[in-house]
Every structure is written in C-alpha cells, then in structure tokens.
Amino acid sequence: MADNMEPDRIVVLGAGYAGLRCISTLALARRQGLLDARLTLVERHGYHQLITWLHEVACEVIPAERARVPLDRLIPDDQVEIVQAEVTGVDPEQRQVITDKGRMPYSRLVVALGSEPAWPQIPGLRDYALSLRWWHQAVHVRTHVRRQFAKAGRARTRGARRRLARIVIAGGGFTGCQLAGEFAHWLPLLADTYDVPLDDVHLMLVEAEERLLPAWRRWVGRRAEQVLRRKGVDVRLGAPLERVEQEYVVIAGERVPTATLIWAGGIQAPPFLETAGLPTGPQGRVYTDAFLRASGFRDLYVAGDSALAIDARGHVLPATAAQALRQGEHVAKVLLAEAAGASPPPYQARHLAMFISLGGGDAVGDIFGVPVRGRAAGLIKEGVERWYHNMITAALASRDG
C-alpha cells in the first residue's frame, strides 16, 4: 500500500451496488481520457455479491455461485487498483482510510460500505442467531437448515423433531419477509426428502411492531402478511423477541423450542462512520448534501445503504439496491464534473419502484406509487434482477473475449 499522498487519488470503499457502479463509471471515464486520477477500490471480499438473491441462495432456489462474481474479472485492472482489505475506520482530517492492512491516503473518498445487521441487546441473540447479509451467511443458512431437517428425520421423539423442524425468523422487514416466502416453498421439499411429517414443520415470522414491513407503505405490509399466511407462515405481529438460548427462544413471553433463529431485525451503517465524526442519523446512516457529500465534508461522498437520502417531502428513502445503484452512478457523475471543472449536478432523491418477493415467483411492490402484486410483480422483480446479472456478465464476456 502506498504511503505517499498521490496528487489525485479517488478511493471507493465497498464493491456492492453503489461502489461497483461508481468505480465502473469512473474506470470507463478514465479509459476514455476523461479522468486523470488514480482509482482504488477497497473491498473485504474478493467478489461482488448479488445480495438481492441471498434469500434464494439460502433456500436453494438458485445455485450459490450465481449470486457472486469475482471482482478481478469485473473491474479493469489497468484502470483500478483493487485492494482486498477490511476497512476499520476513516480519518477525514488526515484524509486517510484505516484498514487492517494499514492506512491509505485519499484525495477524494466514496463511502459505499452498505449496511450490516443491527444487534440490539437481546440476551443470547449474538451467540445463537444466524443472519443473512453476506453471501457466505446465505450458504451457511442453507447448510444449517438442511442439517436440522436431516436430524429431524432421525429424531426419536416428536418434541425433538418439532424443535429441529421449526424455523424462526425474527424481523418482518425486507429480508425477513423475502426469506419467509422462500422457506414456505422449500421446507415442504426438505420434509419430504428427510421423512419429516409436515405437521411437525413450523415456520414463524415474528415482528415486534404491529405490521410487517413497517418502513414501507401500509398496504405493502398487509399484502405481504396475507400472502405469507396463505403459504402457511405463522406470522406473529406485536411479538418481540426477548431472549435466545441454544435450544429455544422467548417471543412475547412464550418459550418456543427451535434449532434455527434467523435475525433479520434491522440494519445499521458501519458504526465507525459515526466515530469518524461524520454526521449520522437513524441507523447510523450518514446525512448527505445535494451532491451526496457527507454534510459538511468537501471531499467525502456517501452512497447506498450507508447514506441517509431524504426526498423533497422529507421522507427517508429506503435502503435498497435500486437506490444504491442510482447514488453510486450519481457520485461518479459529480466526481467527473468536478474533474472537468464543471458544476456538479445536484442529486434528486426520489422514491423508486420497489418489489419484495414472497416466494414461488410471487411478489408485491409498486411502480411510482401504483401497486403491483402477484405473479406480475414477481416477473418484474425477476426481470430487473436478471437485467442486472446480465449487465455484469456481459461486462465479463466482453473482457474475456
């Protein structure tokens, strides 16, 4: 890692939806001679993850490898230096990124580190719960659940079998609902494979608030609840998770034996952003100005889940891949405009079309406020995700060719 300050070095942190889009746009501009800056991408994993497919990986709907693409094959190495490292802090005063491999200077920084599960102080939660935020966790959930069903098939007592064949998902937001929808289709197949009577299979989705998808429009949550209940999901609302032990969980005072708890109860931006003195709001996300710079910071931009984007009506925009892509692209445009000595374009924060899959090709969502549901919504969601996957693999094919 270089110790000397480069005259102009743009460092992008995170190769998720926002970071990859940003660095790819900058790399293309550099190749075309529109940008004269050294480009560095810092990412802990050696791959880009298609996170919107993780619940499908976890439930064996798609092969795991489909949901990640190696970074060195996605990013032109003649334009971008890829550093595989864990970012542990940012020092805006010194203009340095702190990583597990040392400090790295920047002249302009793009923080696109996404979000991570928020872990509230629920006894036992961190010790026993699984989560679903990264690719390897999806693979782990899949392996774990399969293993529990295999054990359930061999269990000597009904009590033991029911504990092993019960999945509890805590958190009825985006991740929890999508995961419950896929499990509803997968668990009967597992039960069949391992000779577990269907009566002993139990899928619970518990949410502390009185409705699913509390951060979304009310009708979306109602629709998700109807569909999931119809698929046999035991949806419990106003039911906080209170305690987690190895053999059971306690939900709203009720002791529920289970071998699988998946925590999907909320996200937060990396906590070191706040420690670095960046202006943070709810979920530790960073307030940004009209150009997606961290408010009050001249050379530090934030995009994706780490940023707190607010629309003209004062609503916080949800943390979604679509928002992250749009912001990553916009930050690149701002950087390019600045490099060309032009006025950067302000960012227009707005609600985008969004969809939540509910398993078996079913989904719910809206396009510019118009509700779409059922198979039609599922097809649109699938189409958008395929488009994204194809766009990435097309880039690969053109490089390989």
Residues that bind ligand FAD (CB under 6 A): 14-19, 42-45, 49, 51-52, 54-55, 86-87, 112-114, 132-133, 174-175, 178, 270, 304-306, 319-322, 324
Compare residues 124 and 266 and give the one whose CB is closer to ligand FAD: 266
DSSP β-ladder status, 234-237 and 202-207: parallel
* Cα–Cα distances in angstroms (integers) from residue 53 to residues 50, 118, 218, 306, 347, in the given order: 6, 20, 24, 20, 28
Compare residues 101 and 151 and give the one whose CB is closer to ligand FAD: 101
Phi first, then psi, for residue 194 (nearest 5°) are: -105, 15
Contact 177, 216 (CB under 8 A): no
DSSP 171-195: --SHHHHHHHHHHHHHHHHHHHHTT
Compare residues 48 and 162 and give the one whose CB is closer to ligand FAD: 48
* Residue 37: CB minimum distance to ligand FAD, A: 21
**Amino acid at position 355, single letter:** F
* Residue 333: CB minimum distance to ligand FAD, A: 16
Burial 309-335 (b: 16+ CB within 10 A, else e): beeeeeeebbbbbbbbbbbbebbbbbb
CA atoms of 120 and 246, how far apart (whole Å): 18
* Residue 231: CB minimum distance to ligand FAD, A: 18
* Residue 175: CB minimum distance to ligand FAD, A: 4
DSSP 316-368: BPP--HHHHHHHHHHHHHHHHHHHTTPPPPPP------EEEEEETTEEEEEET
CA atoms of 9 and 106, how far apart (whole Å): 5
Q: Quote the crossing angle between the two packed helices 135-154 and 174-193, to the nearest 10°.
A: 40
Compare residues 45 and 222 and give the one whose CB is closer to ligand FAD: 45
Compare residues 164 and 292 and give the one whose CB is closer to ligand FAD: 292
Residue whose pair of structure tokens reads 């003649």 in the numeric block: 78
DSSP β-ladder status, 286-287 and 307-308: parallel
Determine the residue with CB nearest ligand FAD. Answer: 16
Reduce the DSSP state of residue 36 to 3 states and report it: coil
Contact 345, 336 (CB under 8 A): no
* Residue 55: CB minimum distance to ligand FAD, A: 5
CB atoms within 10 A of CB 107: 15
| Residue 30, H or E segment | helix 17-31
Compare residues 25 and 161 and give the one whose CB is closer to ligand FAD: 25
* Residue 198: CB minimum distance to ligand FAD, A: 26
* Residue 123: CB minimum distance to ligand FAD, A: 24
* Residue 137: CB minimum distance to ligand FAD, A: 9
Compare residues 44 and 73 and give the one whose CB is closer to ligand FAD: 44
Give the tokens for residue 267: 């996200």
CA atoms of 97 and 10, how far apart (whole Å): 11
* Residue 16: CB minimum distance to ligand FAD, A: 2
* Residue 34: CB minimum distance to ligand FAD, A: 24
Compare residues 20 and 196 and give the one whose CB is closer to ligand FAD: 20
Compare residues 192 and 311 and give the one whose CB is closer to ligand FAD: 311
Compare residues 152 and 325 and give the one whose CB is closer to ligand FAD: 325
